[in-house]
Structure 1
Amino acid sequence: MCFFGDIYSILYWCTSTSSETVIQNRINEALNSMLLGQVVKWLSNTCRNDHTPEVAVREYCRHSAVHWFHTPERQRILGAAIDLGFACLVFQASDKTTKCWSNEGDIYQNRDVYYILKGLEGFFKDYPELISLPRYTFGSSSGGIFSSVFAINQQYPIHGQVIYTSIILPVILHKHIKNGNYPTTVWIHMLRDIEFASAQRIDMSKEILRKQNISCTSFPIEPSQLTSTIFHDRQPVITHAASQFLYSQLRQYRWLNNYNYMLHNPRQKLTWQGFLFAMVINQTMSKEVFDNIHTHKPEIYELLNTFYGEHEISHERSYEALKWLLDNSNK
């Protein structure tokens, strides 16, 4: 399974018929190779400076491959894949500025497609026994768009794809998808996303695919209902005391409704930074809480986006989506 994304990007190889020892050995080989820089690098390309919906995700391209192994949300997605018998190979973005994947619809002009294919060619020379395994992709945000383009390549065909908080590039959807010639496709989308990867847009895409006899489905992610422990539960590096403080502050400053769902988009309304990230210790927090929060600002920011539920990484529904893909692409 091939995964691409600006939030993350990963390549899975289906090894469901292998023993657990073989699976783990292959995963370890892939991880060691990645860390030593011996495997294909993550690839990306600067998003084109236009106003098409396909590039509306540019501001969210900020993560590299290493985050897959150091952030709990991504680790949980990897865990779901491993539980289902996938081995994982991670690619590092080459574009250090935007970390976004190319949205060029012409597969022969898309430089990321070129580099991925060249990388796979080299990888299979080192691991020829893997070339016969089914391949799948998981693409997030701009990586979802890239996955939808890569899916039409014939050199290393894929058997299915998960598109996370993203879409099929319109030119691919309307010009390249013919009867049964496109991989099984699963979307994971956030219900508060009403502009980019909206439920309505995904439903329209599913209708087009089904008319062409292509299996597809979608899994929505709802906004999170906050509790006093949720920050710690989702990111254990955040202490229980810090989690309690963050939750209390969000309630005090009326960022939560009566059911403890977030009222405001933390990307658009930034007042939370003032009351969550106080510049000095005050009577509402201890030094330990102050230090923990300021040490983990990036994690807290990402969690707020996840809890709001518009466009951010979340492990929710990943196991279901991967299992559905595995079950339906093998029919």
Structure 2
Amino acid sequence: MMRRGSLMAKGRFRGGGRFMNANQSRFALGCFVFGCMLIVLNRAFNKAGEVAKGENRPEAANEISAGEPPSAMILGDSRTGVVVEVVGKPVASLELERGKRPIGILMLLPGCHHTALDFFPKGRLCDTCIGLPAETSIIRVAVGKGLFPVAVSPTGVCWNTEKDSDDLQRISQTLNELIVGQSLSNLPLFVFGASSGGVMASVLPSLFNVSGLVIQIASSASEDLLSHEHSITGKYPPSVYMHMPRDLVTAARVEDDLEVLDRIQAPSKEIRLLPKQIDESFFSSQAEGITSEESKTMFAALKEVGVLDADGRLNSDPRTSSWRETLSKSVPRLAHDDGFRPDESPVAELLNIAYAQHELSADGIEQALEFLILKHREN
């Protein structure tokens, strides 16, 4: 016996319990073929709709896993990128070479008192950029993974997570600018946020289609996460928490967040950022513009006055210690060029990272992005 609707010998179909004549058979065959075409087209359109929402992009995941990032995305002094203003605040991103396309967007949200200009070095296309060491390192890793980085500044000193805030409006406008201006539609969106920016990052999945989060030196907006626990089970994006255990309050909140993520079946990863040992090459190896001789002098001076212990670790929080006075005397050229100003000085940032209590850091960012990329591919 042949199943109903199956093709029979002599070009005829069985239907309605009787055989059809030749004309009826040809007409039925045409309808069958047309119906198959409609099914194929319908599936194609459905797939396109899913991609438009940022979903189900195995082709993007395959590009990521291939380990061959687009060669067009170059980070250099003369090719820094573009800076536009959205609601009066800077948004900085790299330019794309014509014909090249990244496999994802990485939105970067800095902490309080910081802006998008921290992430890109000063150059021809961005003479107002600052280019702090950790931020530019994150950009290099992102570019190496084939991601298109865009950094957004908060409207005020810190991010405002209220649903009608100007900050959320700016993020939405920035995404629209990327999609239209840079033709970056259909790409997965990953978000990195530090401190206040990390809290802002945690609320974005409720408003945008986010494929993954990196929340650094911060916890999520825990009240929102808990209050929506049942409604977001199985829907919250993969998240990486990068924190400094020396900050006991944030460490405890991160632990609470990870427990919630386990309950709502959201993949998560914890990366702990520990204090660093400072040696003679510490400064010159991580910041441009500092020579190896200056780095040795800085190390010796800090050790001589007791800012560093015998193992080369900071004895106290550099935000309140007297290292500025010491280095101003030992490396006056660098003191003039760097300024040692909080939130603007590469040296200040490196010392804060070494102390490991509360500072944006590039340590572990490669593992964090690899985790999110892997989970996106699996999804």
- Superposition TM-score tier, normalisation by shorter sequence: 0.7 to 0.9
Kindly provide the CA deviation profile for residues 84-120 of structure 1, in whole angstroms up to 9, marking residues without a partner as x: 221122324443xx2x11133xx3x333222322332
Contact 1:235 1:299 in 2 (8 A): yes
Q: For residues 10-31 of structure 1, what are the alpha-carbon distances to aligned partners after superposition, in whole Å with 9 as ceiling and x for unaligned? A: xxxx786289685626999xx8
Q: Residue 186 of structure 2 aligns to which amino acid in structure 1?
A: S
Percent identity reads: 25
**Gap change, CA 1:38 and 1:101, over 3 Å in 2:** closer
Contact kept? 1:42, 1:94, Cα under 8 Å: no
Distance 1:26 1:274 in 2: 37
Cα 1:23–1:179 shift into 2, 3 Å? farther
CA distance in 1, matches of 2:312, 2:140: 29
Give the partner amino acid of 1:61.
C
1:125 matches 2:202: no
Aligned pair 1:137/2:196, yes or no? no
Higher RCO, 1 vs 2 (CA within 8 Å, ≥6 residues apart)? 1
Equivalent residue, structure 1, for 2:63: 17
Kindly provide the amino acid, as one letter, of the partner of residue 121 in structure 1: N
Query: Aligned-pair distance for 1:41?
Result: 5.2
Asked if residue 102 in structure 1 is aligned to residue 153 in structure 2, the reply is no
Q: Please say which structure displays the higher CA radius of gyration.
A: 2
Give 1:215 deviation, angstroms: 0.5
Q: Aligned pair in 2 of structure 1 residues 124, 26: CA closer, same or farther (>3 Å)? A: farther
Cα distance per residue 1:115-150 (max 9 Å; x no partner): 32233234323345x321211111111110001111
**How far 1:309 sits from its partner (Å)?**
0.8
Deviation at 1:256, TM superposition (A): 2.0
Tell me the amino acid that sits aligned with residue 72 of structure 2: Q
> C-alpha separation between the residues in 1 aligned to 2:316 and 2:80?
41
Aligned residue number for residue 64 of structure 1: 115
Q: What TM-score results when the alignment is normalised by the length of structure 1?
A: 0.75
SS of 2:191's equivalent? strand
Encode CA deviations 1:166-186: one digit per residue, 9 max, x unaligned.
110122221123311211110
Alignment check: 8 A CA contact 2:274 2:356 kept:
yes
Map of 2:323 onto structure 1: 272
CA distance in 2, matches of 1:150, 1:135: 11
Query: Residue 323 and residue 21 in structure 1: after superposition, are their counterparts in 2 closer, same or farther (change >3 A)?
Result: closer
Unaligned runs of at least 5 residues, structure 1 = 1-13, 44-59, 279-284
Over aligned residue pairs, what C-alpha RMSD do you find?
A: 2.9
Q: Secondary structure at the match of 2:215?
A: strand
Secondary structure of the corresponding residue to residue 263 of structure 1 = coil
Q: Distance in 2 between matches of 1:295 and 1:72?
A: 15
- Change over 3 Å in CA distance of 1:328–1:87 after alignment to 2: same
1:146 equivalent among 200, 219, 225: 200
Q: Against the structure 1 CA distance between its residues 326 and 301, is the aligned structure 2 distance closer, same or farther, given a 3 Å change threshold?
A: same
SS at match of 2:243: strand
Superposed CA offset, 1:254-282 (max 9, x none): 22223221110112x3322332223xxxx
Tell me the distance in 1 between the aligned counterparts of 2:238 and 2:69.
Answer: 29
- Cα 1:110–1:181 shift into 2, 3 Å: farther
Of 331, 336, 339, the residue aligned with 1:294 is 336
Match of 2:239, SS? strand
CA distance in 1, matches of 2:241, 2:88: 26
Deviation, 1:307, is 1.0
Q: Which amino acid aligns with 2:112?
A: C
2:277 and 2:193 mapped to 1: Cα distance? Answer: 26
Tell me if 1:307 matches 2:365. Answer: no
Specify the code of the residue in structure 2 equivalent to 1:152. S
Q: Does 1:79 align with 2:140?
A: yes
TM-score (norm 2): 0.66
User: Gaps spanning 5+ residues in structure 2: where?
Assistant: 1-59, 92-110, 122-131
Letter in 2 for 1:236: E
AA partner of residue 274 (structure 1)? E
Are the structure 2 counterparts of residues 38 and 172 from structure 1 closer, same or farther at C-alpha, using a change threshold of 3 Å? closer
1:143 & 1:192 partners in 2: Cα distance?
20
2:72 partner SS: helix
CA contact (8 A) 1:231 1:238 kept: yes
Give the partner amino acid of 1:239.
T
- CA distances 1:179-207 after superposition (whole Å, capped 9, x unpaired): 11211110111232223x22x32122111
Q: Distance in 1 between matches of 2:85 and 2:233?
A: 40
Runs of 4 or more above 4 Å deviation: 18-23, 25-28, 36-43
AA in 2 matched with 1:83: G
Quick check: 2:196–2:218 contact (8 Å CA) kept in 1? yes
The residue number in structure 1 matching 2:3 is: none
Q: Distance in 2 between matches of 1:40 and 1:133?
A: 27
What is the rounded CA distance, in whole Å, between the counterparts of 2:71 and 2:86 in structure 1? Answer: 20
